[in-house]
Amino acid sequence: MIGASVGSFLNVAADRVPEGRSLIRPRSYCESCRRPLASIDMVPVLSYAWLRGKCRHCKAAIPFRTVLVESATGAIFLAVFLRYGFGVDFVVLSACLSLLVLVSLIDLEHGLILDKMVFPSIVLLLLLAPFWSDIGLARTFLGDETLIASLANSYLSGLGAFLAFLIIAMINPAGMGGGDVKFAAVLGLMVGFPGILMALWISVVGGGLIAVGLILARRKSRKDSIPFGPFMAMGAAVVLIAGPDIVNWYQDLASAISGT
Ligand SMILES: [Zn+2]
């Protein structure tokens, strides 16, 4: 329920942040008839079902994205809760994952990763980094870390991801935007090393598969560009929620195959 409510807010933010409008005022309203929504019409997921996806007044269709983002964010928060329980980890991880959802939404609809989201995120993550090894993959690989080690891990991962994407963008300016380069720094800071490698691997494989699927389905041609930000976000989200589990699974599999 917390996640679905945050998802409801992310929907509003995805519409308003790119246009520089206030997140608080005016209250949510119908995009069609401009009448403000009553509280009863703003219950995540349930209102959409109750109103059968239509505005109470003018019967205009409520964008399906609304209920999709609400239920997806609810599912993400539930996954974090099941994996990490309720505490500081839950709050920090949920905040990071909410940011990933918002960046993905805006990139999908506008093809932009906004500086006004990237730069504050970088500052916040630089401040959070000392505590970060408690959450990401660093713990799985490095055991109990010192403050300095986890700081270095996060900062170097952010810098490394930034430089790697900068080089790719300089070699192929048409394929990779400046927003992707800065977003890579955010993800490096967020998941640390070696999580960032797993995150980027997932995003490249996932992005490639979806791109091939879209071309085969003739929804896109080879000349169209597909925003890469959502795939980067997806890779980081998988690592944040399930990274240590994937590593354990892989190690068990490897030792089962080698028969030890
Ligand atoms: Zn309406």
Per-residue pLDDT of the chain (260 residues; tens, 9 = 90+): 999 999 999 999 999 999 999 988 888 888 889 899 988 888 999 999 999 999 999 999 999 999 999 999 999 999 999 988 888 888 888 999 999 999 999 999 999 999 999 999 999 988 877 665 555 554 445 555 566 677 778 888 899 999 999 998 899 877 778 899 999 999 999 888 888 999 999 999 998 898 888 888 887 777 777 889 999 999 999 999 988 888 788 888 888 888 76
Residue 36 C-alpha to ligand 1 middle, in angstroms?
9
- Distances from the Cα of 197 to the Cαs of 203, 205, 214, in angstroms? 10, 12, 26
Residue 61 C-alpha to ligand 1 middle, in angstroms?
8
Residue 64 C-alpha to ligand 1 middle, in angstroms?
15
The closest of 186, 199, 141 to 159, measured between CA atoms, is: 186
Q: Report the alpha-carbon distance of residue 211 to residue 81 in Å, rounded.
A: 32
Residue 39 C-alpha to ligand 1 middle, in angstroms?
15
Residue 24 C-alpha to ligand 1 middle, in angstroms?
20
* Vertex 4: Cα angle to 33 and 82 (nearest 5): 170
The closest of 242, 199, 228, 207 to 76, measured between CA atoms, is: 242
Q: Are 229 and 179 in contact (CB under 8 A)?
A: yes
pTM value is 0.89
Q: Are 29 and 11 in contact (CB under 8 A)?
A: no
Residue 17 C-alpha to ligand 1 middle, in angstroms?
22
Instruction: Classify the C-alpha dihedral 85-86-87-92 as positive or negative.
Output: positive
DSSP reduced 3-state for 29: strand
Residues 6+ apart with CB under 8 A from 218: none
Residues around ligand 1, an ion, CB closer than 5 A: 30, 32-33, 55, 57-58, 60
